[in-house]
């Protein structure tokens, strides 16, 4: 018969894992307050900390400073707790409910120095140590916690984002059952390493982890930390709201027309011997899209020779090109310059690349 702890682990079902988007960004306003977890084994970790327990170190502010350091921001560094808390440079969202989720990250204090004991999420590009031992960027694993209170209908499990308060509190607890309640709430675990020669957080990164889930009904649950869920509109089934304010059509507004020039494009681009617009083996076709009522489209090769010209004056927002020149001869593959002139508004130039397929005479 399984014990209580085993039942906790068995009840953590993969089918309960949500679809998640993780965003890593240098925008500090979007960072998540979170616990920092010890990745080294008990006995080797700083302060004899426990693996998958809270790091035995002072908390940091968003600039990685600890209390007593010049410039320390106490409002950031003391948030939730003065020990064991860091800032993950980003956030995680449950794509099914829109809830922000709690995250945590790991640090291996055995490595010491800036990479292991600074409490900062700062993986490097090193796979192995100098002796060949696994290093993996110093083990800065990322942990994303699902809103386990909603899944389990139990207030003793992990909530939606609360700045890591509940996770830190329970992982600091010596009660093994409390620890396992937290561990069963981990939905996704991922590692990250720096690309050699690149700067950390130089660009934003989005990681999307999708799972197929049936529609579920959502309702209030024990330990709800956010606003109450109103089920009167759609009986608790997923409900989305959007508005079209600011999207109304504007007539005779020059600035709007000029900004709309950016929407003009050629699709597909590049063209690799086929497009979804074609209807037969003998049909070659691409489209100019998001066109105004009146415009002139001139297509040139890279030598500046005019290949084809179209004059459009109708209500359609697109125009087809059969990839033939003005003499009805198929063009050669390569780069073409497409110039769109909108009278009284401006011009748009688009570069287009196409690879043409050989003529298919199968039907003859």
Asked if residue 270 has a cis previous peptide bond (ω within 30° of 0), the answer is: yes
pLDDT in tens, 245-265: 877 777 777 888 888 899 999
3-state SS assignment for residue 259: helix
3-state SS assignment for residue 195: coil
pTM of the model: 0.67
| C-alpha span between 81 and 36 (Å, rounded) | 12
What are the strands, taking DSSP E only, across 212-345? 265-267, 271-272, 286-289, 294-301, 306-313, 318-321, 334-342
CB atoms under 10 Å from CB of 141, counted, come to 19
Question: Cα–Cα–Cα angle for 41, 42, 48, nearest 5°?
Answer: 130
pLDDT in tens, 167-214: 999 998 878 888 888 999 999 999 888 888 889 999 999 999 999 888
| C-alpha span between 286 and 271 (Å, rounded) | 8
Predicted local confidence at residue 364, as pLDDT:
46
CB 31 within 8 A of CB 89: yes
Predicted local confidence at residue 361, as pLDDT:
64
Query: 54 — alpha (psi -120 to 50), left (phi > 0) or beta?
Result: beta
| C-alpha span between 334 and 331 (Å, rounded) | 9
Query: Strands 346-355, 294-301: parallel, antiparallel or unpaired by DSSP?
Result: unpaired
Residue 2 has pLDDT above 80, yes or no: no
CB 83 within 8 A of CB 54: yes
What is the fold of 254-355?
Answer: Immunoglobulin-like (2.60.40)
Question: Cα–Cα–Cα angle for 33, 38, 39, nearest 5°?
Answer: 120
Residue 45 has pLDDT above 70, yes or no: yes
Predicted local confidence at residue 129, as pLDDT:
84
Q: Where are the domains of the chain?
A: 4-209, 254-355
Nearest to 98 by CA among 23, 21, 183: 21
Inter-CA distances, 204 with 91, 109, 200, 207, Å: 12, 27, 10, 10
pLDDT in tens, 95-150: 988 899 999 999 999 888 888 899 999 999 998 888 888 888 888 999 999 999 99
User: Which of the four pLDDT bands, split at 50, 70 and 90, describes residue 35?
Assistant: very high
């Amino acid at each position: 018969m399984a014990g209580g702890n085993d039942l906790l682990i068995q009840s953590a079902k993969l089918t309960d894992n949500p679809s998640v988007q993780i965003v890593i960004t240098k925008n500090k306003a979007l960072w998540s307050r979170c616990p920092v977890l010890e990745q080294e084994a008990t006995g080797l970790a700083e302060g004899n900390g426990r693996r998958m327990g809270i790091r035995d170190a002072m908390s940091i502010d968003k600039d990685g400073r600890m209390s007593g350091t010049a410039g320390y921001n106490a409002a950031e560094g003391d948030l939730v707790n003065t020990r064991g808390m860091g800032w993950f440079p980003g956030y995680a969202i449950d794509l099914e409910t829109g809830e922000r989720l709690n995250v945590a990250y790991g640090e291996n204090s055995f490595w010491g120095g800036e990479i292991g004991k600074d409490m900062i999420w700062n993986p490097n590009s090193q796979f192995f140590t100098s002796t060949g031992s696994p290093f993996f960027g110093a083990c800065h694993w990322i942990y994303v916690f699902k809103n386990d209170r909603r899944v389990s209908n139990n207030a003793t499990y992990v909530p939606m984002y609360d700045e890591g308060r509940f996770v830190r509190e329970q992982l600091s607890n010596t009660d093994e059952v409390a620890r396992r309640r937290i561990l069963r709430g981990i939905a996704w675990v991922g590692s990250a390493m720096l690309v050699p020669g690149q700067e950390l957080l130089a660009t934003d990164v989005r990681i999307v982890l999708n799972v197929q889930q049936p529609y579920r009904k959502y309702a209030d649950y024990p330990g709800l930390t956010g606003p109450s869920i109103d089920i009167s509109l759609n009986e608790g089934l997923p409900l989305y709201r959007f508005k079209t304010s600011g999207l109304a059509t504007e007539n005779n507004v020059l600035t709007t027309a000029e900004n709309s020039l950016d929407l003009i494009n050629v699709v597909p681009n590049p063209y690799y011997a086929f497009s979804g617009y074609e209807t037969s083996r003998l049909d070659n076709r691409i489209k100019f899209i998001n066109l105004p009522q009146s415009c002139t489209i001139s297509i040139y090769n890279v030598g500046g020779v005019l290949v084809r010209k179209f004059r459009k004056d109708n209500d359609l927002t697109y125009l087809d090109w059969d990839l033939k020149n003005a003499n009805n001869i198929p063009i050669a593959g390569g780069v073409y310059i497409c110039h769109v002139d909108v009278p009284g508004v401006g011009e748009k130039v688009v570069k287009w690349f196409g690879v043409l397929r050989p003529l298919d005479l199968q039907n003859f």
